[in-house]
Amino acid sequence: MKITILGSGTSTGVPEIGCTCEVCTSKDPKDSRLRTSVLVETEGKRILLDCGPDFRQQVLHLDFAPLDGVLISHEHYDHVGGLDDLRPFSRFADIPLYADEYTATHLKARMPYCLVEHKYPGVPAISLNVVDASQSFCIAGIEIVPIQVMHGRLPILGYRIGKMAYITDMLTMPEEEYEKLHGLDCLVMNALRIKPHPTHQSLDEALKNVARIQAKQTYFIHMSHHIGLHREVEQSLPSHIHLAYDGLTIEV
């Protein structure tokens, strides 16, 4: 399995517009973070995790090949703002999207031109599948295990694919969901910044969950400029825990 971090940044991206802090003005490319999204390639299939407003820029330099499905964590714009740019990929075949019921309802309201029964001509050929957080399902024969997490008070979805899991925008996880994360080789999980936040894990909160989940390797995503410089934070972490960066590929 190959995991590509297409974007590792929070909703604003890094640099933040107008900010002159040391992270936003850093010359290190690892301090520039597009909005969070991950591509998983396994058994000849390609599955996209979230599709934010930087999607077009994130895939322009990649091989142009079919996408077998798109797993959506929740309806916030930084995770769905690029869905219209699936259009070129949908020429290979219709692309199934997967989201929980709340997210699906909001997407239909936001993109009626391509998510209604009678579509406007030329729109992306995408279809919406509602995910029940308690039921695994398959995309092109690949088993997907949804994981319910809490984004503050909003229930949203993480996903496990084989021995990797993707969890973003989480503050807390219901006790019973931890069982779905046993035996991971790679955990990709959010850590926003150093100080606590009402709807996202801080670095310390993320590290507590990493210690509990015990994946072989963990990569943090959805980071803001308040996490600090990549190089300095990376040096402070144990050798199996890393800050992800845009363009990073991980072989599992």
Among residues 246, 248, 179, which one has the least CA distance to residue 34?
246
Residue 21 touching Zn ion (CB under 5 A): yes
- Cβ partners under 8 Å of residue 252, min gap 6: 1, 2, 3, 162, 163, 164, 185, 186
Rg (alpha carbons) of the chain, rounded to whole number: 17
Residue 68 touching Zn ion (CB under 5 A): no
Element (H, E) at 218: strand 217-221
Q: Which of 75, 225, 227, 241 binds Zn ion (CB under 5 A)?
A: 225
C-alpha neighbours within 13 Å on the C-beta side of residue 163: 13
- 37-45, 77-85, 125-133, 209-217 -> range binding Zn ion (CB under 5 A): 77-85
What dihedral do alpha carbons 100, 105, 107, 110 form, nearest 10°? -160
Nearer to Zn ion, 14 or 241 (CB): 14
- Residue 138 has a CB neighbour count (10 Å cut-off) of 9
Q: Which of 68, 75, 85, 169 binds Zn ion (CB under 5 A)?
A: 169
- 73-81, 85-93, 104-112, 236-244 -> range binding Zn ion (CB under 5 A): 73-81
In three-state secondary structure terms, 67 is coil
Nearer to Zn ion, 21 or 109 (CB): 21
Nearer to Zn ion, 21 or 194 (CB): 21
Q: Which of 54, 68, 75, 78 binds Zn ion (CB under 5 A)?
A: 78
Nearer to Zn ion, 21 or 62 (CB): 21
Instruction: Determine the size of the site formed for Zn ion (CB under 5 A).
Output: 9
Interaction site with Zn ion (CB under 5 A): 11, 16, 19, 21, 24, 76, 78, 169, 225
